Structure formats: structure tokens, C-alpha cells
Amino acid sequence: KAGVTQTPRYLIKTRGQQVTLSCSPISGHRSVSWYQQTPGQGLQFLFEYFSETQRNKGNFPGRFSGRQFSNSRSEMNVSTLELGDSALYLCASSWARGDLETQYFGPGTRLLVL
């Protein structure tokens, strides 16, 4: 079974631009979570979607948003990019309930903001 895929894998943007990252979960998985990983802050939870609804959100500004489609694919958007948004963005999917189910992580999208 195919794993979690994320596109693009690498991205370079400039300050002030916006970016959209995509995540395709494992077939059958309905929960998708997004995380930001930086050397200074480590792994931080952004948000979780289940059946097209955002169930929970981490402590990130409103510039970070996401959505989930009916086929469980998810996108996250960052508007008005700042230098500090440079990070590895990871997506994880699980079957039904993120609390108990194993999360399967994708390889991540590495974003560099210049």
C-alpha cells in the first residue's frame, strides 16, 4: 500500500509570498495532521483534519491554514511568508481516530523562505 505522499518535496519562496503544500494520505485514512519541524523549535503540531473538518489546532498564527477534501487529501497554506517559516512541513495520516491510531508520516516538504 502506498505511503503518505507530500508535494512538492522542496520549495523556495520569498518573504511576503504565499505557499500551498499538499498531502495525500494512505488510502482509507481519514485523519490528516500537519506539523512544522525546525532546528530551534523541534516538531510542533499545526492542525488536524478529519472528514473535512478541522478538529484541533496548534498555537500558530492565522497565516497558517489548511483544508481537507472529500477524498481525504489535505492542503495547508501559509500566507505572507516570513523568514521564520522556513522549515520541514510534515503531514501524517491515520485511519480514523488520531488519538489511538498509529500515525504514518510523509517525507515532508522542505520550505525555504528568502
Partner 1 sequence: DAKTTQPNSMESNEEEPVHLPCNHSTISGTDYIHWYRQLPSQGPEYVIHGLTSNVNNRMASLAIAEDRKSSTLILHRATLRDAAVYYCILRVYTGGFKTIFGAGTRLFVKA
Per CB under 8 A, 64 contacts partner 1: no
The answer to whether 77 and 65 have CB atoms below 8 angstroms apart is: yes
Of 55 and 73, which has the nearer Cβ to partner 1? 55
Per CB under 8 A, 1 contacts partner 1: no
Q: Exposed, middle or buried, 24 (CB in 10 Å: 0-12/13-18/19+)?
A: buried
Of 18 and 54, which has the nearer Cβ to partner 1? 54
**Nearby residues of 90 by Cβ (< 8 Å), 6 or more positions away:** 6, 34, 35, 36, 37, 43, 105, 106, 108
Of 19 and 103, which has the nearer Cβ to partner 1? 103
Binding-site residue total for partner 1 (CB under 8 A)?
A: 27
Binding-site ranges for partner 1 (CB under 8 A): 4, 33, 35, 42-45, 48, 50, 54-58, 90, 92, 97-100, 102-108
